[in-house]
Structure 1
């Protein structure tokens, strides 16, 4: 059954992804249909995720504001990370040993990987939520071509009713989506808040103007699309003036396809060999 499902996804992405031209997305109706096709392709791909290893360079709340260089392996339980360097400096012997010990613990307790990966996945989930909003939450303008990509600018649809607080913030943003014209997949998504936004008259939360979110994805030699860059800068305050922020920036390179049934123990063995 799994093989049949994968084949159906492949067929939908191959035959449904007919090359589009900028002339075909000039009207609001055509743009809506184009974005519905885009959302269908992205959902099909998300439902059948494939696994890779890659090098990651990240500065975020998770790294304590430091620049971490890591080798990452995607297992069926989640991402297994091995820290290689901090702020451009390789780990000293003591810290390298602690990192190997941590990985050996994860090999015996894969549920920890699953729990931690879900917690650290919020910025990518934000990108997915923004993608889902593209179909229903925005109005579009200025269709144009940039190389092999079709670009559309978007701005809030005043008739759209957001379903959650987070969606209210995202639905208030303006930005640009760049789509691969052949496969109809998202290449780049940029969004920013032009003016300060208050929720509950500022009592529940205030998100500051200038907050922004950018993600870039590229096609791998295996035809899968993977996130290669992400930059999230969300600033504001919540109830009782608690500072809320989401600052994360990472770059991912050197992608290599892996088996989809890879276990955490196998991932650890690959990282520590």
Structure 2
């Protein structure tokens, strides 16, 4: 190769190298825009036709239950396996089997559970839609990497509509987000002020209450809630379910057919009873 040609190639290579290094670093997405995209994905995920079986441990001041639960198009169905930290005995297993048998044959009960499930889903979807409108967001630490933390606080310009929105709007805390997949991993918040309804006549919710929601990836496209912890103190006369003190953890997620019937779901619960209950309780529950 001629010296002149070699000099041109060296010069060109140097120019390209400099240009590559001189390219500006992409500007990270704003925290608000990232949250908006995350909420969109979470809401879109809820619209998909997908059902799962999982183990649930629900704890309230009055009970501690371990349940196996199966989602169906007619709502969830569950079997209690433990109460108060103890596996069901034969009498309790027999009562649980009778409850399940009655439930799958009762259209009224099924319709009621399905309605309550749909109401809960709509309420949660409404809260999620409200988040990008009701809060101000900023990154905690670096805005780069797969997992980022985003602090949120009430936007004073937002005017909440309704009792539930007023409670949500006084939350502040942190969102943990998978920035690459744009999915929520954790939402941890606390009430930064007391909320009075009807100047306190209709009730109130105390400052300092806490909540946490944790999400886990269970398939290439699906995420499920693995923890819901709510500890809010107060009294609201018109809405008895506003004041809560409960925690539920969910684990061992397994997909089930999207067209699974309640009877088929109960049979899956029966197999879990066979695997989890002592022999005497298993026989009382109709096990083999």
Q: TM-score, normalised by structure 1?
A: 0.81
Match for residue 137 of structure 2? 140
How far the C-alpha of 1:223 sits from its partner, in A, is 3.3
Given the alignment of the two structures, is residue 131 of structure 1 paired with residue 128 of structure 2, yes or no? yes
How far the C-alpha of 1:234 sits from its partner, in A, is 1.5
Matches within 5 A, 1:43-192: 43-60=43-60, 65-119=62-116, 127-145=124-142, 148-192=146-190
Moved more, 98-107 or 67-76: 98-107
Choose 1 or 2 for highest CA Rg. 2
Match for residue 28 of structure 2? 24
Secondary structure of 2:93's aligned partner: helix
How far the C-alpha of 1:249 sits from its partner, in A, is 0.3
CA distance 1:121–1:249, shift in 2 (3 Å): farther
Distance 2:148 2:124 in 1: 19
Contact 2:82 2:88 in 1 (8 A): yes
Distance 1:122 1:235 in 2: 23
Distance 2:249 2:43 in 1: 23
Higher strand proportion:
1
Match for residue 231 of structure 1? 229
How far the C-alpha of 1:243 sits from its partner, in A, is 10
After superposition, give the CA deviation of every residue in 1:171-212 in whole Å (9 maximum; x if it has no partner): 111111111112111111112112222222212221101112
Secondary structure of 1:76's aligned partner: coil
CA distance 1:266–1:118, shift in 2 (3 Å): same
How far the C-alpha of 1:118 sits from its partner, in A, is 4.3
Contact 1:39 1:132 in 2 (8 A): yes
Moved more, 198-207 or 255-264: 198-207
Distance 1:257 1:169 in 2: 35
Count of residue pairs brought into register by the alignment: 245
Distance 1:71 1:194 in 2: 36
Distance 1:219 1:110 in 2: 34
Secondary structure of 1:202's aligned partner: coil
Distance 1:246 1:22 in 2: 44
Contact 2:54 2:251 in 1 (8 A): yes
CA distance 1:225–1:50, shift in 2 (3 Å): same
Given the alignment of the two structures, is residue 202 of structure 1 paired with residue 206 of structure 2, yes or no? no
Contact 2:236 2:243 in 1 (8 A): no
Distance 1:212 1:87 in 2: 24
Gapped runs of 5+ residues in structure 2? Answer: 1-24, 272-288
Contact 2:186 2:215 in 1 (8 A): yes
How far the C-alpha of 1:158 sits from its partner, in A, is 0.8
CA distance 1:91–1:76, shift in 2 (3 Å): same
Structure 1 stretches of 4+ with a deviation exceeding 3 A read 117-130, 142-148
Contact 1:22 1:144 in 2 (8 A): no
